[in-house]
Amino acid sequence: MSRFRDMWVSGKYAIDRKSKGEVDVRTEKEAVQLMHQLIPEESKAIYGDLSARRGSETGKWLKSLAGDAPQAAEDWVKAHSNAADSFEEARVWIDALFQEFGSLTYGFNEKVVGTDLFVSSEKAQIVETRDEDLWYHPVVKTIQGRLSTRFWCLYVKGNEEKIGIYVFPSELTIGFKAGQVSDEEAPPFLVAEHKTVGGRNIWAIQGEEASLAMLPALAKELFGDLIRMASGKMDKSELFSRSAEQPKLGENVAVGYEQKSVQPAAAPAPAAVTLNIDEAQMHEACDVLDKVIEKELQKLYQATSSVQPGSAQADQVRRKISAVTTFRSKIVDAFENFSKESHDITSDEPSFVAAKS
């Protein structure tokens, strides 16, 4: 696993508008096309099917849930009603969605730690960029957050008018974060639009209200979409579920996926780190750290099996896992920015590490 090497290579696809007086539109479109070519054939079929069904059936599904959804947490309802404007309402909606993602991630990762399906959740944050297309370069604010596996990313980006939800190969992340990929080139799976109905401000998907109360069910569907794309497995029966059951790999999400069993090695000697600091690249050093983080996560998740759920010990282990994954997310985010700013994208053609399912 060379997560940071792959990010370093993918940085060559980011188009830096600040350093180029005029964007080469042809180059940009070619880069996006290359990204989509990296999607394995089995995942392409799933992507097409998911895009079609999410784009036409989600509103009906939300409508069917309207009478059964439990009450949303009072804190979220109060925060949304007290929001100063629609941008703040978007922030509350996205934050509530990512709280659900966080709970789903913890339970799911216990069974996949050390694999390419391990999910990292990066809480949403406000991102400010300058619109270089207008002469006065106004600052554009968006709220952005993501879930990611080794090779796939579910990205949420919103403002005062709409919230877009995207799924794409992780190599596309650097350019997407910088606002250099349009919705025409990488269309969202779902869009929630801000509307006022009967004096109430709501978020609607395909004309149906996507209330805070419905976010637990919606989060589970979207979390499942990421795993379906990353695993290359999907059964149509697992979509638009009304079950409260948590995602279980191969059972109710990515149905049919068989995880390779890993036999524990018998007390191996610690691997020597042979990194030469006088010659090492940044991505090589970060990959060493990433392996240390992976080992730490394996130990922590293994510890969860020996503690009583809901106990003080279990809570302490969960906080440690959260701290380690947050630390990794911050390193990944910082390295993506470093890669984008460091590359001279007008120079050599990059070699590329293909996405895997």
pLDDT tens digit sequence for 105-123: 998 998 898 899 999 998 8
Q: Which of 131, 126, 190, 196 is nearest to 163 (CA)?
A: 190
Tokens coding 122: 């990066």
Report how far residue 228's alpha carbon sits from residue 66's, in angstroms, rounded to the nearest whole number. Answer: 26
Report how far residue 249's alpha carbon sits from residue 105's, in angstroms, rounded to the nearest whole number. Answer: 12
Mean pLDDT of 60-72: 86
pTM of the model: 0.81
In the predicted structure, residue 267 carries a pLDDT above the cut 50: no
Mean pLDDT of 42-46: 82
Mean pLDDT of 72-85: 92
Report how far residue 228's alpha carbon sits from residue 224's, in angstroms, rounded to the nearest whole number. Answer: 6
What is the percent of the chain with per-residue pLDDT over 70, rounded to a whole number?
81
Mean pLDDT of 249-268: 72
Across 45-54, 268-277, 347-356, the highest mean pLDDT is recorded for: 45-54
Structure confidence at residue 273 as a pLDDT band (50, 70, 90): low
Helices (H), the chain: 3-10, 25-37, 41-65, 74-81, 86-109, 173-177, 215-231, 282-304, 312-342
Report how far residue 344's alpha carbon sits from residue 64's, in angstroms, rounded to the nearest whole number. Answer: 51
Check if the beta carbon of residue 167 is closer than 8 Å to that of residue 47: yes
Residue 39 Rama label (left phi>0; alpha psi -120 to 50; beta) = beta
**Helix, strand or coil for residue 142?**
strand
Q: Which of 107, 108, 116, 113 is nearest to 300 (CA)?
A: 113
Report how far Cα 15 is from the mean position of its chain's Cα atoms: 21
Mean pLDDT of 31-53: 75
On average, the pLDDT of the chain sits at: 82
In the predicted structure, residue 282 carries a pLDDT above the cut 80: yes
Residues in the chain: 357
Mean pLDDT of 280-292: 89
Report how far residue 12's alpha carbon sits from residue 31's, in angstroms, rounded to the nearest whole number. Answer: 10
**Helix, strand or coil for residue 46?**
helix
- In sequence order, the 6+-apart residues with CB closer than 8 A to the CB of 164 are 156, 157, 158, 183, 188, 190, 191
Report how far residue 150's alpha carbon sits from residue 157's, in angstroms, rounded to the nearest whole number. Answer: 20
Check if the beta carbon of residue 39 is closer than 8 Å to that of residue 355: yes
* Inter-axis angle of helices 86-109 and 74-81, nearest 10: 160
Positive or negative torsion for Cα 23, 127, 86, 210? positive
